[in-house]
A and B are shown apart, each in its own frame.
Chain A
Amino acid sequence: GQQLNQSPQSMFIQEGEDVSMNCTSSSIFNTWLWYKQDPGEGPVLLIALYKAGELTSNGRLTAQFGITRKDSFLNISASIPSDVGIYFCAGQKSNGNKLVFGAGTILRVKS
């Protein structure tokens, strides 16, 4: 089963609003990644984080690697209709060869 708790489960926001979502775990991860999945497609990598405390941006997206290594946050500023989709966090352990995914946050944007 899933080891990552992702919240909120879904969001319905107004275009132009900022969005925040997070991912927590009971265990430590050495790498955190955020993916977006559109209907009928595979997940697309948005941001990768490799160091505790790291804050990384990709356009309107900003993600942080929690200092405890047990959580990560993704913020989207000034949302637009094409931000609609499912956002997944994923973690990798230090000696791991797999990603563990959260259950996803469904984002809907009202224009």
Chain B
Amino acid sequence: ETGVTQSPTHLIKTRGQQVTLRCSSQSGHNTVSWYQQALGQGPQFIFQYYREEENGRGNFPPRFSGLQFPNYSSELNVNALELDDSALYLCASSLGQGAGELFFGEGSRLTVL
């Protein structure tokens, strides 16, 4: 158990819809990163939030957006869902701005039909 919790664990959406995924970081961790893991691949960096501001972004379009709250929890929002957005979305918490040692939650499995 890493202490990182994500919700929902599974969800199904249709193309064009919007989705919000949530993450509570490990106690004492002030940084949250989001990763997308497609089937059979390693996680791909989406973005990181530190002190409520985006602190680096991977190669994902603007329809992927996020928030971090004062208690360090975070949301990932995806608009205009596409079929290729189907994946496991992983939240990871850490201490400090650098990636350092990331502690992952169990993920939210998104299926887009």
Contact = CB atoms under 8 A, between A and B. Distances in A.
Q: Do A and B come from one complex?
A: yes
Interface of A: 2, 4, 6, 31, 33, 35, 40-45, 48, 88, 90, 92, 96-104
A45 B45 contact: no
* Best-surrounded residue of A31, A35, A43, A102 (most CB of chain B within 10 A): A43
Interface of B: 2, 4, 33, 40-45, 48, 50, 55-56, 58, 90, 92, 97-107
Contacts of A4: 42
Contacts of B55: 97
Nearest to B31: A97
Contacts of A31: 99-100
Contacts, number: 67
B94 to A, nearest CB: 9
Nearest to A30: B98
Given A2-B42, A33-B101, A42 B90 contact: yes
Given A43-B90, A45-B103, A99 B45 contact: yes
A98 B56 contact: yes
Given A97-B48, A98-B33, A98-B56, A42 B106 contact: yes
Contacts of B99: 31, 92, 96-99
A45 B43 CA distance: 14
